[in-house]
Amino acid sequence: MSVRWQQVGSPADVEAPLGDLPAPRRPGLARRWLWLAALVVTVGVYAAQRLVQNPSGELEMWLMLALLGALAVTAVAALVRYRDDQLRATETRAVEALRRDARSTTGSVTVSERPVADGVMLRGLLTYPRGTDTAEDTWSLLVGDDDAPGPRPGDPVAVWWAPGTDVVVARYHRGWADDVRRRARR
């Protein structure tokens, strides 16, 4: 499961309609096409290996090592591209499903904090009703020094989910969470 956090500006924005979600970001040019450059280098090294007549043992060894290295880089870069394409397709399907059939509910979070250079890294467990079951998804959120405060342990959050997807949207504002807690105590 993937949890997308939205820290909103006011308590009223938490329960506002979901609206348009941003399309998944496309990986950078180098990340998408590194496999092709590595493949060209691999073919070039292979051609050089075949064209050299009577190579010395040392040259033959270096050409073989270069070929293996270029082939390894090609394989890893191709796997990265494949995984990026899979992730982007999954996120695109999730955004479309949330646009068509988003369902909202209220959930709660557990939180652990870890200070980092520019703020605090929060991570924990998001628990919410999903159909007839209770879903539990792990999440993480980097809250910068200049950002609004993140959720506290046990705070309520507004959750949007769509059947058939593994992506949920969690909205939070501390004022809204305090209001929900006050109403629950009555």
DSSP string, 24-46: PPPPPHHHHHHHHHHHHHHHHHH
Beta bridge partners of 167: 2
Q: Which of 107, 108, 102 is nearest to 163 (CA)?
A: 102
Q: What is the mean pLDDT of the chain?
A: 91
Q: Per-residue pLDDT averaged across 75-85, rounded?
A: 97
In the prediction, which pLDDT does 145 show?
A: 85
Q: Per-residue pLDDT averaged across 166-170, rounded?
A: 89
CB 92 within 8 A of CB 24: yes
Q: Per-residue pLDDT averaged across 40-52, rounded?
A: 95
In the prediction, which pLDDT does 185 show?
A: 84
Q: Using one digit for the tens of pLDDT, what is the confidence trace for 82-139? A: 999 999 999 899 999 998 988 989 999 999 999 998 889 999 999 999 888 899 999 9
In the prediction, which pLDDT does 157 show?
A: 93
In the prediction, which pLDDT does 32 show?
A: 95
Whether the model clears a pTM of 0.75, i.e. scores above it, the answer is: no
| Lowest-confidence pick of 73-77, 159-163, 182-186 | 182-186
Q: What are the φ and ψ backbone dihedral angles of 60, each rounded to 5 degrees?
A: -60, -40
Count other C-beta atoms under 10 Å from residue 107's C-beta: 23
| Domain coordinates in residue numbering, the chain | 2-11+102-185, 29-97
Cβ neighbors of 142 (< 8 A, separation 6 or more) are: 116, 118, 119, 120, 121, 122
Question: How many angstroms separate the CA atoms of 113 and 115, rounded?
Answer: 7
